[in-house]
Structures are given as C-alpha cells and as structure tokens.
Structure 1
Amino acid sequence: MRIQSGLIRSLLLFIPFAIAGAWSLQRHIDSDQLTVQPVQLRAQGGIGFNLRQATIPVQEIRSGGPPKDGIPSLSNPRMVSAAEATYLRANDRVIGVVLGRETRAYPLAILNYHEIINDRIGELPIAVTYCPLCDSAVVFDRRTSLGELEFGVSGLLYNSNVLMYDRSDTESLWSQLKGEGVSGPGARMKLTVLPMELTTWAAWKNRNPKTTVLSPETGHRRNYQASPYTRYFNQPNLMFPVKPISNSLRLKESVLGVWDDANAIAIPISAFGGKSVQIEKSLGSRKFTVAFDVEDQTIRVIKADVGIQWMNTFWFAWYAFHPETEIAGR
C-alpha cells in the first residue's frame, strides 16, 4: 500500500507538468503539421488580459494555441564563449547585438521555443524578440517610463505576430512589430528599438570572434536541434489571418524593414539581383547603408544616421504593419 500511495502521489505531481508541457508544445506541433485552427477572442478579456482599452481591434486578436507563458521567455540566461558553442552549425541563424565593446549572439534555434529573451548587456536591459510565424527579429531597450520591464509571451497574436506582455502588476500587452504597447498603461507607448542583425553563426563569429552566445542550457527540456517551423517556412500559406495583404512580393520573402518617424521602406532580398553588394539608401534626409551576402542570404545595416531603425521579417508581416511602405527596387 505504501508503494501504491507513493506512486499515486508521484503521478499527481507529474500531471500538471505534463499538461503544461503539452500546452507549450501545441503551436509547435501544429505548425509543423499545418493543422492549427485559429481561435478568435470574442470577449473583452483575452485569456487573462484586460483588452477593454486595446488600441488594436479586439476581434483581430487571436489565440496562438499555448496560454500565457505556455511559450516560456528567458530571463538572464547563461552565455558561453564562441569556442564553447559547439552546438551551433555554420549556417544556423542568429540575432547579433553589439553594445559598446560587447557582442552577443542569440540563436534562432533556441528562440523558436522561447521567442523573448530578457537580457542585460553591460548596464543596458534589453529584450531580444523573435516571432517564428513572421520570421521577425527585433531588439528592444527594456527601459520605459513605466520602469524597467520584463517581457513574457502572452499566447496571443495580432496579424500573426506575437503579443508580448510585461510582468508588472498591470500586464500591458505589447506588439512586437508595432514596437509599442497596445493595452493597459503601456498603450501607445513606443519601445526603443536597438541595432541588431539577423545573420548566420559563421558570419557573425567571423566578424565578432570574441562574441558570447546564448547557451542551450536554458532550464527547459527542448530539442533545440530540430526546428518545429520547417514545413511552415517551406510553403507559401499563412497560419493565421492577416490584413492588409499585398502580393507585390512573395508573402514570405525576407525583407529588411527600415523606418524613421515619417517614412518606411522594405528592402527585399530580390532587390540585390543575386549579388553580394552594398547599397546606400535614404529616408527623407537620413541615410543608411545595407549589405547583402548572397552566400548567407542575409541583409544587414552596416551604417545608419541617428533616427533610422530596422528589423528583419517576412514581407506579409512588414506590409501588415506598414502598408504605406516603399519597396526598394520598385
């Protein structure tokens, strides 16, 4: 009887973790099989969030599958040296950040399962964010007029893009691609976007040999060697409704989205004519220079005037949030 009661207690302790694990993996499983069924939020409260003062249409906010924190963001994660990063392959994509004399890389293979990394480089608190559905990479300064924020994954989507939430008492929702709060006290508050590049591990390490890199020892059991979004990336369809839509480019063509306080431009891979080249562009009176690497198929900003901001994403996502955009080469 002691053995049986002990077994029962163990099972009861295990069940909540098993349920949480199933929730956290649901979108990843469905995205690979492309069978996800979007659940539209019809109530004013969105799975634990008060949306009554939302600045985006509540009827267009959807559940991505996992609940709040079902996709666990990371905070102050372990970093290792480039020499220790033997788990990375040369063509693995990373988000690279340079702040002062420090350089740091965040592999998408890990971000696929966590989407937000609350980190600190020197004295600066940053949020490295990645939405696999939009292939969108943006790095934010976590300092705001509400204080220094820590972000989590809400489980909600707007235009197929992750809605973050801040772990304050009010839990405002924040749109990654709008770069601002969309509910609660943070509504309409802009986040400061920091310089970054989306590139390959080999290219980043070659340019930044002293870089540190996010360790796969995150405290979570995930197979970081397998991408749950491979099939989604290899076919043209979207998983969630998006509007507006433009067919000026392939929906999932990779673009560098660049903007200032008055203008926006999309620079697609197709604008480079299949050649490794640098081009200078301007937004109003501000100038910037971008480089395309044909071998890695990456676009990065190498020089920019103050006031220029950028992100990497799919065309459909950039257009949905910047329908007034220009397209380089068109």
Structure 2
Amino acid sequence: MRSILTLFSLSLVLFTPSLVVAKTLNGFSLDNATVPLNLVQSGGPPRDGIPALTDPKFESGRKAQSVKPRDIVLGLVINGEAKAYPLSILNWHEIVNDTVGGERVVVSYCPLCGSGMAFESQPEGDGQRELEFGVSGLLYSSDVLMYDRETESLWSQIHGEAVAGPQVGSKLKQIPMTLSRWSNWLQRYPDTQVLSTETGYRRDYNRDPYAGYGEHPNVYFPVANQAPSEYHQKEMVLGCWSMAMLLPSHLVNSRS
C-alpha cells in the first residue's frame, strides 16, 4: 500500500506541472486562443524582431526620390489627407502606427500572404483606449499576428480581431485602402505624403527580403485552406462578399 501511495505521489510531482504550464509562444499566452493552435506558428523572428514603426516620418509625394513610378504602395485617405506606404518599406516593418486626417490608425502588411489592412487604433465599442501595435513574430494560417503593447493581446491581421489575451473577441474597425502603383496614386492625389525611408533602422529598402517567395510553389507555414489545384498557391485574388453569402437562405428569400 505504501509503495502505491509513493508512486501516486511521485506521479503528481512529475505530471501536475504540465497541467498548469501555460501554452506560450514568443512570450504570448495562448491559453484562451480562439483559433486552432496548430495553425499558430513562430515565423522565426522574436517579438519585435521585425520592428513596427511608431513615429513614422513622411515626405512630400512631389519631392520624393526614394519611391519609383512603378513601385507598389498602399494608399490611405482620411478626412482629406492622403498618405502612401510603399511595400518596399512595409516588407521590413509590417506595421505602421500613424495619424491620418487626425485619426489614429494602424497600417499593416503581411508579406507572406500579400494582405494590406488598415484599422482604427481603438477597438470597436471602446471609445477611450487607443492601442499601439507591434509585430509578435507569430503567424496564424501564415498571416501576421499583431499584438497591442497595452494588453499584449494577439490580433489576427486579416480578421481584425483579437484571438488571444485580455482583448480576445474585440474587433478593430477596418479602413479601406488602395493598392496602387506609385505613379497612379501620385496622379490621383498630388498632395499625398509618402512614408520616408528614414525610419531609424538600418535596412536596405531597395532589396526585397521575400524575393522569389511569390513564385515558389509551396507555402512555408501551415494554412487552413489550400488553393484549388488549378491555381498557384500564391495566386493574387480579389475577394468580395455580400449579405446573401452570410445569411440563411430563408432570410435571403424573405428580403427579395
């Protein structure tokens, strides 16, 4: 009987800690994650290993020399103020915390999936708190997971929603952006400002750190859904949706 009790006590010592150790990656708790953990992966760099820009500098679009006519930019217009964010810079930083038209925003770009998204910095329904975002070094379904420095919650960039941490379930209001060649954007918004290469970091913004990835037949990290066989895994697509796609058929029919 004593040997049984001894073995039972030993098993508690050996195995109980594993029950209480939190699931963490890059220092972020995933205990209350709302996404499949097998699709949350370290992208390689540690937290802030890819440095977000928090005090970005801009220059006049008319005078800018660092951006070429055929360069691709993400464009944003709020309250009449236009700003452009070259992908050649976003490839190295992925997140820009900025103020446009008097509104605090976060501009994000994931080089692995080519998704550029802008959001208001305040979570929906929270009129008091403005968040500052950084790059967690983690990916969900091969898409960048942002984190806010105030609560260290993880946010899905493509969903605009907190998927782990104190803010889990909170959402960010998306702001429309334009993907454009620089020459077209400048022609449409001649008073635009453009993100400067004077970021405070030593980076070669003339070099694409992801060169060749778009043509490679495979993805580097697991994704929830694979592209149909007739498409390249990195095929560029334009997504759209309608209420008819989201509502049950009997509700759609009742509206017609």
Same-fold call, TM > 0.5?
Answer: yes
Partners of 1:67 and 1:43 in 2: CA distance: 18
With over 3 angstroms needed to count, the CA separation of the structure-2 counterparts of 1:97 and 1:263, relative to structure 1, is farther
Partners of 1:180 and 1:119 in 2: CA distance: 19
How far apart are 1:261 and its partner, in Å?
Answer: 6.5
Residues 146-181 of structure 1 show CA distances to partners (whole Å, capped at 9, x for unaligned) of: 71000000000111000000000x210000012100
Question: What is the match of residue 99 of structure 2?
Answer: 120
Partners of 1:262 and 1:72 in 2: CA distance: 40
How far apart are 1:260 and its partner, in Å?
Answer: 5.8
1:138 aligns with 2:117: yes
With over 3 angstroms needed to count, the CA separation of the structure-2 counterparts of 1:180 and 1:151, relative to structure 1, is same
Which structure 2 residue ranges, 5 or more long, are not aligned?
1-20, 247-251
Amino acid at match of 2:114: D
**Residue aligned with 1:74, SS:** coil
With over 3 angstroms needed to count, the CA separation of the structure-2 counterparts of 1:151 and 1:262, relative to structure 1, is farther
How far apart are 1:69 and its partner, in Å?
Answer: 0.2
Superposed, 1:129-168 pairs within 5 Å as 129-144=108-123, 145=126, 147-168=129-150
Question: What is the match of residue 202 of structure 1?
Answer: 183
**Larger RCO, structures 1/2 (Cα 8 Å, 6+ apart):** 2
Amino acid at match of 2:113: C
Question: What is the match of residue 12 of structure 1?
Answer: none
Superposed, 1:275-314 pairs within 5 Å as none
Partners of 1:258 and 1:171 in 2: CA distance: 31
How far apart are 1:185 and its partner, in Å?
Answer: 2.1
Counting strand residues as a fraction of each chain, which structure ranks higher?
Answer: 1
Question: What is the match of residue 174 of structure 2?
Answer: 193
Question: What is the match of residue 171 of structure 1?
Answer: 152
Does the 8 Å contact 1:173/1:182 carry over to 2?
Answer: yes
Alignment equivalent of 1:239, drawn from 220, 227, 235: 220
**Residue aligned with 1:233, SS:** coil
Question: What is the match of residue 103 of structure 1?
Answer: 82
With over 3 angstroms needed to count, the CA separation of the structure-2 counterparts of 1:261 and 1:62, relative to structure 1, is farther
Does the 8 Å contact 1:82/1:209 carry over to 2?
Answer: yes
Does the 8 Å contact 1:76/1:120 carry over to 2?
Answer: no
Amino acid at match of 1:100: N
With over 3 angstroms needed to count, the CA separation of the structure-2 counterparts of 1:263 and 1:141, relative to structure 1, is farther
Amino acid at match of 1:155: G
TM-score by length of 1: 0.64
Question: What is the match of residue 249 of structure 1?
Answer: 231
Between structure 1 and structure 2, the one with the greater Rg is: 2
Residues 239-287 of structure 1 show CA distances to partners (whole Å, capped at 9, x for unaligned) of: 11112213163321212223466748xxxxxxxxxxxxxxxxxxx8xxx
Question: What is the match of residue 53 of structure 1?
Answer: 32
Partners of 1:133 and 1:223 in 2: CA distance: 19
Does the 8 Å contact 1:44/1:58 carry over to 2?
Answer: no
Q: Percent identity?
A: 49
Partners of 2:238 and 2:180 in 1: CA distance: 12
Amino acid at match of 1:81: S
Which structure 1 residue ranges, 5 or more long, are not aligned?
1-41, 265-283, 285-330
Residues 186-213 of structure 1 show CA distances to partners (whole Å, capped at 9, x for unaligned) of: 2121210101111110111111111000
Amino acid at match of 2:32: Q
Partners of 1:87 and 1:215 in 2: CA distance: 8
With over 3 angstroms needed to count, the CA separation of the structure-2 counterparts of 1:260 and 1:141, relative to structure 1, is farther
Alignment equivalent of 1:80, drawn from 46, 55, 59: 59
Question: What is the match of residue 164 of structure 2?
Answer: 183
CA RMSD of aligned residues (A): 1.8
Partners of 1:258 and 1:179 in 2: CA distance: 16
Amino acid at match of 1:47: N
